[in-house]
């Protein structure tokens, strides 16, 4: 294990030994015994240098998308990977499902709606699938916006929507709203005043979605907590 400068912090050596042997055993199971120690320094000939890659939002930012292409009325895509997490390292969407129903069903098992064995989780899953189409993002050419987050708050078997309006600016792939907004879809929630447009590629993981499913429409993303990934929702005009 090394630190960011390439200095070795820990080194591990291993050897084969007989494990599980007692005074009455005649044989023991073969196993590996590891020694871990801190190394203050290594000579240059034996030093191992590891350069930590630098990944930023720019790795997935659709910086060249013109303002005209993001304008219009958008709904959460019901097909073509409706939401996902985009790794800044390889520009891939993880678990890029092909439709909203399979995506929501999958993340239910990830506790996206609470304990998946409860009736409440099933009710929230069903309501999410039914109501997602009511979420709208309207970006007007005059710089005004109107957003309806249909999946904003869930209680007693139903969602309560929330609406936002104001002005926005757009430059180099970045969207900045005049007021804080929230856009929700299953286990992905975008909130704040600054989002960005991304162009994800197909995933080799998940349920087999490829580039044809994730390209097109409008992907709006935001940095996910302190992770090197983008949480994104896929919109169709």
Lowest-confidence pick of 90-94, 97-101, 185-189: 90-94
Lowest-confidence pick of 36-45, 110-119, 193-202: 36-45
Residue 56 backbone phi and psi in degrees, to 5: -135, 175
Residue entry with tokens 């991304």: 198
Residues in CB range of 142: below 8 A, 6 or more apart: none
Residue entry with tokens 């090394």: 2
Percent with pLDDT over 70 in the chain: 74
The H or E element spanning position 193 is strand 188-198
> Rounded to whole angstroms, how far apart are CA atoms 117 and 134?
27
Query: Which stretches of 91-160 are DSSP H helices?
Result: 100-108, 119-131
**81 & 132 share domain:** yes
Strands of 41-173 (E only): list them: 72-76, 83-87, 93-94, 136-139, 144-155, 158-171
**14 & 112 share domain:** no
> Rounded to whole angstroms, how far apart are CA atoms 204 and 68?
32
- The token pair that represents 223 in the structure block: 């940095």
**206 & 116 share domain:** yes
Residue of 80, 113, 55, 112 whose CA lies nearest to 219: 80
> Rounded to whole angstroms, how far apart are CA atoms 90 and 92?
5
The secondary structure of residue 57, as a DSSP letter, is G
Which of 52, 74, 92 finishes a domain? 52
The secondary structure of residue 236, as a DSSP letter, is E
**135 & 154 share domain:** yes
**40 & 140 share domain:** no
> Rounded to whole angstroms, how far apart are CA atoms 134 and 189?
16
Confidence of residue 31 (pLDDT cuts 50, 70, 90): low
**30 & 113 share domain:** no
**43 & 114 share domain:** no
**22 & 128 share domain:** no
Lowest-confidence pick of 19-23, 36-40, 153-157: 19-23
**26 & 117 share domain:** no
What pLDDT score does 102 carry? Answer: 93
Which of 52, 68, 93 finishes a domain? 52
**81 & 32 share domain:** no
Which residues constitute the domain of residue 2?
1-52
Q: Is the pLDDT assigned to residue 17 strictly greater than 80?
A: no
**73 & 47 share domain:** no
Considering only CA atoms, give the Rg of the chain.
24
Q: Is the pLDDT assigned to residue 32 strictly greater than 90?
A: no
Residue entry with tokens 């092909």: 98
Domain count within the chain? 2
pTM for the whole structure:
0.76
> Rounded to whole angstroms, how far apart are CA atoms 218 and 137?
11
**195 & 110 share domain:** yes
> Rounded to whole angstroms, how far apart are CA atoms 55 and 84?
18
């Amino acid at each position: 294990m090394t630190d960011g400068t390439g200095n070795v912090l820990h080194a591990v050596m291993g050897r084969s030994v007989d494990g599980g042997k007692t005074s009455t055993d005649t044989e023991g199971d073969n196993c590996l015994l590891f020694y871990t120690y801190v190394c203050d320094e290594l000579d240059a000939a034996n030093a191992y240098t590891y350069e930590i890659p630098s990944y930023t939002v720019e790795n997935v930012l659709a910086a060249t998308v013109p303002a005209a292409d993001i304008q219009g009325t958008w709904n959460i895509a019901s097909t073509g990977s409706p939401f996902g997490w985009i790794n800044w390292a390889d520009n891939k969407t993880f678990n890029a499902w092909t439709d909203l129903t399979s995506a929501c069903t999958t993340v239910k098992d990830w506790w996206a709606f609470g304990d998946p064995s409860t009736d409440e989780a099933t009710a929230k899953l069903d309501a999410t699938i039914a109501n997602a189409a009511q979420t709208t993002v309207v970006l007007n050419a005059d710089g005004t916006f109107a957003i309806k987050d249909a999946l904003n708050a869930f209680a007693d078997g139903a969602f309560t929507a929330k609406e936002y309006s104001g002005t926005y600016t757009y430059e180099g792939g970045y969207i900045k709203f005049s007021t804080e907004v929230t856009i929700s879809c299953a286990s992905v929630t975008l909130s704040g005043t600054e989002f960005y447009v991304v162009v994800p590629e197909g995933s080799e993981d998940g349920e087999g979605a490829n580039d044809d499913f994730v390209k097109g429409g409008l992907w709006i993303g935001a940095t996910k907590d302190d992770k090197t990934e983008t949480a994104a929702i896929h919109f169709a005009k």
